[in-house]
């Protein structure tokens, strides 16, 4: 059995691999691959208006791509996720546009999307000294066997946006991790160890549910 993860993001691949391996679902010869591992170009346009919609879109697109290329085998499964940061003081932005969070800095030069550091700076500047700093990471994750049989879960990771660029901290994780402070842990997400993050994060919680569903359903 091959479990395909519908992403080109190596950081996400490594996180989900650790989560699934920790849950024991990669035992017994199961492979865990992303499209690039099979030499496949996978970068679908995320046109839906919700995390769950985009997760399903990516799952369907990868399922179709694998079938077209003869890489899909009976018993395989696709996992797809869509995730992002929702900031209450920004009316839920950047939300589903988290990886494509844009502004003047994104178009003033070569038109490329902002990198993580630039997105963090843009978000902190937009939020300014707004006292409402509650925010959460959201992860919608799909376990997909075929277009008529799939399971979807959605989880969150609650925290607060740091007061400004000088309060961003940590070198772990990726994306917005350095600017989301977790009061219960007393640190930003980027200061958590990989194990700590996977135990309490949005992707960790969703991944554990998906792992449980995988064990219950892969033979049925």
Q: Where do the structural domains in the chain lie, given as residue ranges?
A: 2-217
Residues annotated as catalytic (active site), given as ranges: 82
Distances (CA, A) of 34 to 3, 41, 108: 9, 10, 33
Mean pLDDT, residues 5-28 taken together: 90
pLDDT of 113 reads 64
pTM of the model: 0.89
How far apart are alpha carbons 217 and 143 in whole angstroms? 10
Interior angle at CA 124, CA 121 and CA 127, nearest 5:
150
Q: Is the pLDDT of residue 220 over 60?
A: no
120-176 pLDDT tens trace: 999 999 999 999 999 999 999 999 999 999 999 999 999 999 999 999 999 888 889
Region 2-217: CATH code: 3.90.950.10
């Amino acid at each position: 059995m091959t479990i395909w993860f519908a992403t080109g993001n190596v950081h996400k691949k490594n996180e989900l691999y650790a989560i699934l391996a920790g849950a024991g679902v990669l035992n017994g010869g199961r492979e865990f691959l992303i499209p690039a591992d099979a030499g496949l170009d996978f970068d679908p346009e995320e046109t839906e208006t919700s995390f769950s919609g985009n997760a399903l879109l990516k799952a369907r697109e990868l399922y179709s791509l694998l079938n077209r290329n003869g890489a899909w085998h009976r018993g395989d499964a696709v996992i797809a996720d869509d995730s992002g940061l929702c900031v209450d003081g920004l009316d839920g932005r950047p939300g589903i546009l988290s990886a494509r969070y844009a502004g003047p800095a994104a178009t003033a030069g070569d038109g490329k999307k902002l990198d993580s550091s630039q997105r963090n700076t843009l978000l902190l500047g937009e939020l300014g000294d707004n006292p409402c700093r509650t925010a959460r990471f959201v992860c919608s994750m799909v376990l997909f066997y075929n277009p008529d049989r799939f399971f979807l879960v959605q989880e969150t990771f609650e925290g607060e946006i740091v007061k400004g660029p000088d309060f961003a901290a940590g070198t772990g994780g990726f994306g917005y991790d350095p600017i989301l402070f977790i009061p219960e842990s007393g640190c930003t997400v980027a200061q958590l160890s990989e194990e700590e993050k996977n135990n309490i994060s949005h992707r960790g919680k969703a991944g554990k549910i998906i792992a449980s569903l995988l064990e219950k359903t892969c033979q049925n």
